[in-house]
């Protein structure tokens, strides 16, 4: 079963408008972390925002906010006031306490966002 | 530049050749990760180092793959007898183990096996 599901392969948004990128996750752990990364065409993964499973408030970082609904196991990314430079691939990822010590990230398949002028 | 660096950025090789990639993490970061990203997919975990010790390996890391971090600083990932299916972006990430949540990623090495 997929641990991270991003159901939107591609999204379009008009410049200056807000957009929501969907992410659902699957875990049986109580302690976990959720991340969003941006990957422009250059390839580098850029960290955007983090939400811990015990955090009661939704995380915000500038124009990015994470709509965390624990019971529904969803962690949607909201980008407000979209800019042309926001056009990129966006990945949702989860870090769980696993049996080993690695605590690596598990990524979804991504959403390609295109901001239209 | 104090971020994670990777070398080379691009590598084209013929099937059957060996290749080696290098990752230089952020200097004080003791944890280092290698991921592989194929076209249209998210990165997948390959292996993890804490200091010089390789503590975890994914089942994706076949016997043809080997990774080292000899002095707990830079790391190398070697692929022997490359196959066309090895064509991918290889990403390195580092994190300070005692705190922080964000894994800092390098720019990646894009491997093409002809």
Cα of B33 to nearest chain A Cα, Å: 8
CA dihedral A93, A99, A101, A102 (to 10 degrees): -30
Residue ranges of alpha helices (H) inside chain B are: none
Under the banding of pLDDT at 50, 70 and 90, the label for residue A110 is very high
Give how far A38 is from chain B: nearest CA, Å: 11
Q: Name every chain A residue with its beta carbon within 8 A of the beta carbon of B42.
A: 4, 91, 93, 107-110
Residue-level pLDDT, tens digit, chain B, 114 residues: 579 999 999 999 999 999 999 999 998 888 999 999 999 899 999 999 999 999 889 988 899 999 999 988 999 999 999 999 999 999 999 988 655 678 899 999 999 999
CA B13 to chain centre: 17
CB-based contact, A105 to chain B, within 8 Å: yes
Cβ separation A44–B106 shorter than 8 A: yes
Rounded to whole angstroms, how far apart are CA atoms B53 and A111?
A: 35
């Amino acid at each position: 079963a997929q641990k991270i599901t991003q159901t939107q392969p591609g999204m379009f948004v008009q410049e200056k408008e807000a957009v929501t990128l969907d992410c659902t996750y699957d875990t049986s752990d109580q302690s976990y972390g959720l991340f969003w990364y941006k990957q422009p065409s250059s390839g580098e993964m850029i960290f955007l925002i983090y939400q811990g499973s015990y955090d009661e408030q939704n995380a915000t970082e500038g124009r990015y906010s994470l709509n965390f609904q624990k019971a529904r196991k969803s962690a949607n990314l909201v980008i407000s006031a979209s800019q042309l430079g926001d056009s990129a691939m966006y990945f949702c990822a989860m870090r769980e306490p696993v049996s080993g010590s690695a605590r690596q990230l598990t990524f979804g398949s991504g959403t390609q966002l295109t901001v239209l002028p | 530049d104090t971020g994670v660096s990777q070398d080379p950025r691009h590598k084209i090789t013929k099937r059957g050749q060996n290749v080696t990639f290098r990752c230089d993490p952020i200097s004080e970061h003791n944890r280092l990760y290698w991921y592989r990203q194929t076209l249209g997919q998210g990165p997948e975990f390959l292996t993890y180092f804490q200091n010089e010790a390789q503590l975890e390996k994914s089942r994706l890391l076949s016997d043809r793959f080997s990774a080292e971090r000899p002095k707990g600083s830079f790391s190398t990932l070697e692929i022997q007898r490359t196959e066309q299916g090895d064509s991918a972006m290889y990403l390195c990430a580092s994190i300070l183990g005692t705190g922080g949540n964000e894994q800092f990623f390098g720019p990646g090495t894009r491997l093409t096996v002809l």
